[in-house]
Amino acid sequence: MTSDVVVVGDLLLDRDVVGTVARVCPDAPVPVMEAETELARPGGAGLAAALLAADGADVTLVAPAADDPAGNRLCDLLDAHGVRLVALRTEGTTREKVRVRAGGQSLLRLDYGSACPLWGPLPPSVAALVRDANAVLVSDYAGGVTSAAAVRDVLTARTNPLVWDPHVRGAAAVPGATLVTPNLEEARHLSGADRDGSEPARPGRARSAFGAAQMHADRLAQRWQARAVCVTLGTRGALLSYGSGSPLVVPARAVDGDACGAGDRFAATVTERLARGDVVSTAVQAAVTAASQFVAAGGSGTFGERGFDDSTDHSADGTGAGVARIDVVRRRGGTVVATGGCFDLLHAGHVALLQAARRLGDALVVCLNSDESVRRLKGPDRPLVPQADRIRVLQALGCVDAVAVFDESTPDAVLRSLQPDLWAKGGDYALHDLPEAAVVAEWGGQTVVLPYLEGRSTSGLIGAVRERDR
């Protein structure tokens, strides 16, 4: 189903200048970066709209667009990403955000341009676009469009789902917004807590991040008359409040990566899911997962001139997240460890192996036999635990960073794709007994054998259960 979504907000042109640093400037203690590439992409509301278009939504973006070189480049990028732009007149200049990056890290950010508030009347077509959309996303980047009375009147009059992604220097959401999506700092400021000096929940003890998020969310929901507020908490996930009562907390999977644009990814996913008819809580859960995957895949840095780099598979099998995680660790000079198996009926022996393997490096990827692969290896009555559940159990372990599923009888193909530095197996193997050792050696990787806990095995557990049932 194609969702018709309208995005209203402020445009930016984002550019990443990427290079390498190998020396320090002779006349000042600063790094000298040799610039190698530049990646340009829509920023602000433009990024949210482009992400929605990449998801398959039919997207119209309503935003002030300046007639200058940066603005013209931005319009071309939006068109290339499949976003229809209704350009509102403005006397401002296009804002540009330039990140200077090396080694996967930002060294400096340069900002250019000025705010682009709406100038002149709102085109009559905008009201119809907003009214007829399946959902509306307001992406406020403090450029002034959300403060315009004509824009606010149109947004207030709509009856479809409205997601408001706020900015600390932006406007308040119109009354009746379906969902407001601030991060914790934005929620604290917008709820007024940083101005009235709200007291901790208990004397002498500071609130937890979740306690603070609930307080700010409840206050903001009441202050802005929003139906719900979802405070995003980075690696902790998100907290959804309806203004009173116990909140819904959606944990996030811990990932490393570039978090730039994660808020736009979250807001875009929530909006698209609401446009499809999902309830708010379901939409928030999908958005937390999408934001985590987005960060693991490299964040907005993967969204360049040619569009979103979706070569990484974000399906439930976890393979895409595994590849992305490895890329991040490798860029930082870390060691990637992989191990493999069926992991049917996860037991203490499995856990000990996984913990030991993780201690060997900076990331552990589990190469998991698919259901069909397990049946070929173990027989038609296996696995006892289906693939999706085995993935979920493994991902819940703190020592496992990602799961990569393979359908073959051996993990050779997925190993060649992942190319880990270490391949670890448990048991009484000699290296010549492990066929994967030759595969791992192709890229200079090393195969190691780890001790295995005595008397723990899946087949032993199955046999014990069957014996008891006799």
pLDDT at 320: 54
Pair (176, 279) in one structural domain: yes
First to last CA, the chain: 51
Strands 179-180 vs 363-369: parallel, antiparallel or unpaired: unpaired
pLDDT at 173: 97
Strands 229-232 vs 238-241: parallel, antiparallel or unpaired: antiparallel
Across 315-450, the runs of DSSP E, i.e. the strands, are 336-341, 363-369, 402-406, 422-426, 446-450
Pair (8, 87) in one structural domain: yes
Pair (110, 27) in one structural domain: yes
Catalytic residue among 165, 264, 317, 401: 264
The answer to the question of residue 279 being in a domain is: yes
Domain with 359 in it: what CATH number? 3.40.50.620
Strands 229-232 vs 336-341: parallel, antiparallel or unpaired: unpaired
- Whether this prediction's pTM lies above 0.85 is answered by no
Count of the separate structural domains present in the chain: 2
User: Quick check: is 264 catalytic?
Assistant: yes
The answer to the question of residue 313 being in a domain is: no
The answer to the question of residue 133 being in a domain is: yes
The answer to the question of residue 194 being in a domain is: yes
Contact assessment for residue 64 and residue 89, using Cβ atoms and an 8 Å cutoff = yes
Pair (375, 235) in one structural domain: no
Pair (43, 102) in one structural domain: yes
The answer to the question of residue 314 being in a domain is: no
400: left (phi over 0), alpha (psi -120 to 50) or beta: beta
The answer to the question of residue 139 being in a domain is: yes
The answer to the question of residue 227 being in a domain is: yes
Helices (H), 305-370: 319-331, 348-358
d(CA 191, CA 368): 46
The answer to the question of residue 79 being in a domain is: yes
pLDDT at 437: 87
Pair (87, 28) in one structural domain: yes
Q: Which of 308, 333, 362 is the last residue of a domain?
A: 308
Pair (349, 204) in one structural domain: no
Q: Which of 308, 328, 345 is the last residue of a domain?
A: 308
pLDDT < 50 positions in the chain: 1, 199-206, 305-318
Range of the domain at 323: 319-469
Pair (438, 417) in one structural domain: yes
Pair (227, 329) in one structural domain: no
Q: Which of 308, 336, 361 is the last residue of a domain?
A: 308
Pair (272, 329) in one structural domain: no
Pair (19, 136) in one structural domain: yes
Pair (268, 400) in one structural domain: no
Domain with 76 in it: what CATH number? 3.40.1190.20
d(CA 425, CA 253): 25
